[in-house]
């Protein structure tokens, strides 16, 4: 009897040992991966705290009401400039982006649509400074526009275009094919089906994509540095040959200045840009999440 | 014209733009490409020459006396900062993706993933601000001396002097934080969409949950991970503002240790255009265009490759996350 129990016991205890070591490895794995997520979340919170706490301290009424003067003043000119440049970029990018997105979604298997889709993904990855330098070479120098609203907006539009194309395509793909079939069976032609039925059905998601593109363009710096320039004054209404200010430039330049008033402008600009970008992203997520659930 | 043909025509703007960006930069930098030759990528001197003298003719081009354009230090800086960024970002991204996909209940997962992936939405210049204002002082006062005293004894590249905080390591850390969400989001999607039967089979064979994940589920998402890493690589190579603000913008200098300042191709274009414009022959501005051209080609290749890999491996389905 005793030999039987001992032979039974030995492998049993050995097995328990293996199990313990495997448990430790597993526990260690979960802990490490949890730590990774924790580190990311903490850093995210750290960034947000730096931007929002210091930014909130730097915001005053004068920030919105006065233009930049030397190393102080306000950001009225930069806020206006950011709006002008971004709206200009959207005016240019939305028609082309939505049209490309429609084409990529509605004729998904045609080689041209595959090419468009692929190139849109590649264009997203082209560094923004490359687009900015292209803008400098092509528009500031070759076209002779100097630093200008037109140059800045076109550079931003190039950045936004692939985003809009992609979000439009994804939005239209969520539209059920039953809807298309129903419209065709009622005798609608291709144009009516796409523009009259599918696009309205996908409109909230398409608009969300446009808003996300707006957030991207508000946060960009590198494409504007050598296309839009910088100006301490309000926009004079000229599309070419007159530079314009924008918020991201204020962040980059004024944080390097040795004056507290300049640093405050940088923090205020960072607060405005980050706040705007985050609000749009959260809104967009709510809209897309709700539509995905439907 | 038919509606479809109109759409196809308008959609053609995307290829036209991509092509014209590359072509314009190529044409504009043509003289510089001829003047600099292949030495451009192996010389370590970026020197505008004597701007107070009259331009001279050299190799058939009008340049300032003493002008040399070489970007070896930029190539080294770009490659090293990207390499270190990936070394930090890939493991952390895998860890975060694992925890998000497997350990967090699905109703919380959506929002916690969203929070972490919001890092992708934060503008590059805000990362730069954060790096400049808080990360550099923190690292240079506390972390770098510690690192030099411990790891520095084993690996010479980590030994002091620890410098000012504007460094290769700072740039890599900030870059890593910017590209981690790309890896985490793409991989998390791939993990969640792995077939449940695989996991059940592994658990049925006696694997612990972590073993099932590590040995069965994760290998199944290996290809997605490679594709996402390439995407992250492309992003890190071309990142401009954040690197510009924390790297120290070294000129003609190769880093001797990880605390030395560097510069990257993308950041250098921004930091040098103003002084390049002082060159009356225009060769400096054209040489900067050559850098932009090289960067454009590299990013098209890296991103094209990444997207192709993801497309082929996912059977034509694009990744939804990034």
**What pLDDT was estimated at residue A8?**
46
Q: Would the CB atoms of B7 and A123 count as touching at under 8 Å?
A: no
**Nearest Cα residue in chain B from A104:** B11
Q: Is the pLDDT of residue A6 over 70?
A: no
Residues A146-173: tens digit of each pLDDT: 899 999 999 999 999 999 999 999 999 9
Minimum CA–CA partner of B116 in chain A:
A41
Check: CB of residue A149 under 8 Å from CB of residue A238: yes
On chain B, the residues whose CB falls within 8 A of the CB of A36 are 91-96, 99
> Which token pair is B56?
């001279």
Question: CB of B311 within 8 A of CB of B319?
Answer: no
Q: Do the domain assignments include residue B36?
A: no
Is B43 inside a domain boundary? no
Domain annotation covers residue B64: no
The CATH number of residue B173's host domain is 1.10.3720.10
How high is the pLDDT of residue B309? 85
Give domain status of residue B44, yes or no: no
* Tens-place pLDDT, residues A213-246: 999 999 999 999 999 988 888 888 888 888 999 9
Q: Tell me what percent of the residues of chain A surpass a pLDDT of 90.
A: 63
Q: For residue B210, is it within any domain?
A: yes
Select from A102, A128, A256 the Cβ nearest to the Cβ of B240.
A128
Residues of chain A contacting B133 with CB distance shorter than 8 Å: 50, 54, 255
How far off is chain B from A62, nearest CA to CA, in Å?
22
- Provide the shortest C-alpha distance from residue A175 to chain B (in Å): 16
DSSP one-letter string for B175-198: HHHHHHHHHHHHHHHHHHTS-HHH
> What local confidence, expressed as pLDDT, does residue A42 receive?
95
Q: Is A22 on the interface with B (CB under 8 A)?
A: yes
Q: Is the dihedral of CA B91, B96, B99, B102 positive or negative?
A: negative
Do residues B170 and B136 make contact, with C-beta atoms less than 8 angstroms apart? yes
A157 touches A252 (CB < 8 A): no
Residue B52, in any domain of the structure: no
* pLDDT value for A131: 95
Q: What is the pLDDT of residue A63?
A: 84
Shortest CA gap A237–chain B (Å): 26
User: Residue A38: which residues within 8 A CB-CB, separation 6 or more?
Assistant: none
Write the pLDDT tens digit of every residue in A25-60: 889 999 999 999 999 999 999 999 999 999 998 888
pLDDT for the residue A3 = 46
**Whether A184 contacts chain B with CB within 8 A:** no
Question: For residue B139, what are the domain limits?
Answer: 71-313
Q: Is A34 exposed, middle or buried (0-12, 13-18, 19+ CB in 10 A)?
A: middle
The shortest CB-CB distance from B129 to any of A112, A189, A255 is to A255
Residue B55 to residues B49, B209, B211, Cα–Cα distance (Å): 10, 71, 69
| Residues of A whose CB is below 8 A from B214 | 29
Which string of b and e fits B120-159 if b means at least 16 CB within 10 Å?
bbbbbbbbbbbbbbebbeebbeebbbebbeeebeeeeebb
Residue whose token pair is 């890296």: B302
Count: domains in chain B: 1
Instruction: State pTM to two decimals.
Output: 0.91
Residues of B in contact with A37 (CB under 8 A): 95-96, 99-100, 112, 116
Residue B251: strand pairing partners: none
Q: H or E stretch including B98?
A: helix B72-98
- For residue B15 the two structure tokens come to 């290829």
Residues of A in contact with B213 (CB under 8 A): 29
SS (HEC) of A211-247: HHHHHHHHHCCHHHHCCCCCCCCCCCCCCCCCCCCCH
Does the distance separating the beta carbons of A266 and B14 come in below 8 Å?
A: no
Shortest distance, CA A1 to any CA of chain B (angstroms): 30
Interface contact B292-A118, CB threshold 8 A = no
* DSSP-assigned states of every residue in B196-243: HHHHHHHHHTT--HHHHIIIIIHHHTHHHHHHHHHHHHHHHHH--HHH
How far apart, in whole angstroms, are the C-alpha atoms of residue B213 and residue B200? 11
Residue B213 within a domain: yes
Contact across the interface for B96 and A37, Cβ inside 8 Å: yes
The DSSP output letter for B63 is E
Q: Is residue B60 situated within a structural domain?
A: no
Read off the pLDDT of residues A70-102 as tens digits, 9 standing for 90 and up: 888 889 999 999 999 999 999 999 999 999 999
Q: CB–CB of B292 and A138 under 8 A?
A: no
- pLDDT over 50 (residue A2): no
Q: Which residues of chain B have a pLDDT value below 50?
A: none
Whether B281 and B62 have beta carbons less than 8 Å apart is answered as yes
Give the pLDDT band (50/70/90) at residue A1.
very low
Of B94, B96, B208, the CB nearest to A40: B96
- Cα Dmax for chain A: 101
Per-residue model confidence (pLDDT) at position A15: 53
């Amino acid at each position: 009897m005793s030999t039987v129990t001992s032979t039974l016991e030995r492998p049993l205890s050995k097995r328990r040992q293996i199990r313990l070591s495997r448990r430790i490895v597993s526990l260690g794995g979960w802990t490490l991966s949890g730590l990774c997520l924790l580190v990311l979340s903490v850093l995210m919170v750290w960034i947000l705290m730096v931007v929002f706490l210091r930014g909130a301290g730097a915001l005053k009424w004068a920030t919105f009401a006065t233009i930049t003067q030397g190393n102080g003043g306000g950001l009225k000119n930069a806020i206006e400039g950011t709006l002008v440049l971004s709206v200009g970029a959207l005016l240019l990018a939305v028609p082309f982006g939505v049209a490309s997105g429609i084409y990529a979604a509605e004729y998904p298997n045609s080689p041209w649509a595959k090419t468009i889709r692929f190139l849109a993904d590649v264009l997203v990855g082209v560094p923004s400074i490359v687009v900015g330098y292209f803008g400098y070479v092509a528009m500031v120098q070759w076209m002779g526009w100097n630093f200008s609203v037109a140059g800045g907006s076109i550079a931003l539009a190039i950045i936004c275009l692939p985003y809009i194309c992609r979000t439009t395509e994804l939005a239209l793909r969520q539209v059920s094919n039953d809807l298309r079939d129903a419209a065709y069976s009622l005798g609608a032609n291709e144009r009516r089906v796409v523009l009259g039925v599918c696009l309205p059905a996908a409109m909230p998601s398409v608009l969300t994509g446009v808003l996300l593109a707006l957030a991207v363009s508000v946060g960009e710096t590198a494409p504007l540095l050598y296309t839009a320039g910088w100006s301490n004054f309000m926009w004079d209404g000229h599309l070419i040959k007159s530079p314009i200010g924008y918020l991201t430039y204020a962040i980059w330049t004024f944080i390097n200045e040795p004056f507290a008033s300049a640093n405050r402008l940088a923090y205020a600009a960072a607060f405005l840009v980050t706040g705007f970008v985050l609000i749009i992203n959260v809104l967009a997520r709510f809209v897309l999440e709700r539509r995905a659930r439907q | 014209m038919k509606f479809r043909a109109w759409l196809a025509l308008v959609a053609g703007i995307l290829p036209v733009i991509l092509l014209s960006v590359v072509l314009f930069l190529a044409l504009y930098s043509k003289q510089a490409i001829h003047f600099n030759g292949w030495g451009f990528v192996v010389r370590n001197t970026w020197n505008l020459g004597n701007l107070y003298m009259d331009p001279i003719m050299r190799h058939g081009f009008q340049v300032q006396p003493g002008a040399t354009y070489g970007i070896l230090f930029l190539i080294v800086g770009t490659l090293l900062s990207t390499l270190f960024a990936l070394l930090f970002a890939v493991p952390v991204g895998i860890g975060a993706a694992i925890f998000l996909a497997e350990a967090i209940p699905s109703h919380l997962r959506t929002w916690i993933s969203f929070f972490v992936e919001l890092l992708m939405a934060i503008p590059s210049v805000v990362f730069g601000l954060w790096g400049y204002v808080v990360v550099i002082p923190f690292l240079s006062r506390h972390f770098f001396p510690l690192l030099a005293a411990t790891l520095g004894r084993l690996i010479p590249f980590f030994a002091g002097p620890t410098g000012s905080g504007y460094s290769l390591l700072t740039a890599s850390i900030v870059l890593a934080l910017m590209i981690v969400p790309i890896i985490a989001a793409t991989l998390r999607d791939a993990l969640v969409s792995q077939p449940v039967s695989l996991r059940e089979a592994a658990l049925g064979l006696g694997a612990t949950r972590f073993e099932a994940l590590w040995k069965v589920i994760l290998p199944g998402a290996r290809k997605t991970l490679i594709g996402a890493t390439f995407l992250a690589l492309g992003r890190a190579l071309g990142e401009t503002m954040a690197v510009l603000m924390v790297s120290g913008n070294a000129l003609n200098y190769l880093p001797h240790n990880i605390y030395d300042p560097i510069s990257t191709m993308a950041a250098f274009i921004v930091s040098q255009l103003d002084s390049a414009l002082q060159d009356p022959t225009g060769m400096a501005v054209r040489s900067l265009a050559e850098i932009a051209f090289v960067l454009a080609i590299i990013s098209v290749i890296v991103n094209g490759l990444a997207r192709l890999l993801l497309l082929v491996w996912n059977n034509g389905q694009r990744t939804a996350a990034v």
